[in-house]
Structure 1
Amino acid sequence: MPAKRQTIEHVKTDLEIDEELRLHEKGWVIQRVGQVIVVLVMMGGALGLFGEGLFSKATPHMGNVNVEYERFFRYQTEMRIEVKSSEHISTISFPQAYLQKFKLIRFMPEPESNSTAGSETIYSFLPRENHIVSIYLETQNYGNISGLMKINGKDPIQLQHFIYP
């Protein structure tokens, strides 16, 4: 015997009331779909889809250099790019077009000097055991932002961000 679909029991009354039971059933389906969407958005947020978290963290590497940064971030908030290398970090360079979309807050450790060469800004560090450099930036634009970062003048590392308004 096939199972019957559960529905609302239709009660016959003496009153002429238009209950629109099918409309109620459609509303319940729409409500359930909405609840699922809300749960998925909350899970995505918890995992970093809208900022810091598992989905947001990017760790590209080139040779002996690893870079760690957030792919998804929020407008006008401070973000960190961490550069790690097994050898001394003497220079870090960014395209000026990339840096114009951020406000540079600070470097840890501080660079000894900075200069421009063509369309790149180069930050030079003292010759000591710099194996980790943290760069703190504040986002000034929203949308897709991408740029190339060079460590010690070697092959560039692609940085790709999506900044939420």
Structure 2
Amino acid sequence: MPDAEAAFEALGLHLGFAAERPDKVYGTGPDDLWSVRDDLQLLIELKTGVTRADLRIKKTELDQLSGHVSWHRANYNAHDASIPVLVHPESTYLIEGTPPPGTRILTPAGVEDLKTRVKAFADAVSVADGWKSSQRVQELLTQHYLTGRDALLRSTIAPTSV
């Protein structure tokens, strides 16, 4: 869903990461990509529009995520690492599928956790003009686990098979 993809890109940018939407810009790659370090990118595929009766992750969705890992290898520095992240209503995948190594799933509960941490940060940084001090902003980002890979991965879980 384009609105969710734009929101994830905006969130990544607001948290201070280089963020882009490769699928929209280049017509290939993940929906969103966050560079959380110079040598680490999060490859984010959003399946927020899944409404089928069986919400478990399908083989085709995992194959798409594997394709993003291959795309990353072909288009980024050979030494850069990537972590595939699937935003999905369910963390269980059908046995026919194989998640790429290191895959993380952001479920609706994880989205709520992320939103809670972002809101708590925003509330805290607005007190006593905290947003005017880069040191205070950094302290609060760290306190709310919104730096580096923790920003997103803290709210994710590993996929499980049926």
- The structure having more radius of gyration, on CA atoms, is 1
TM-score relative to the length of structure 2: 0.26
Structure ranking higher in helix proportion? 2
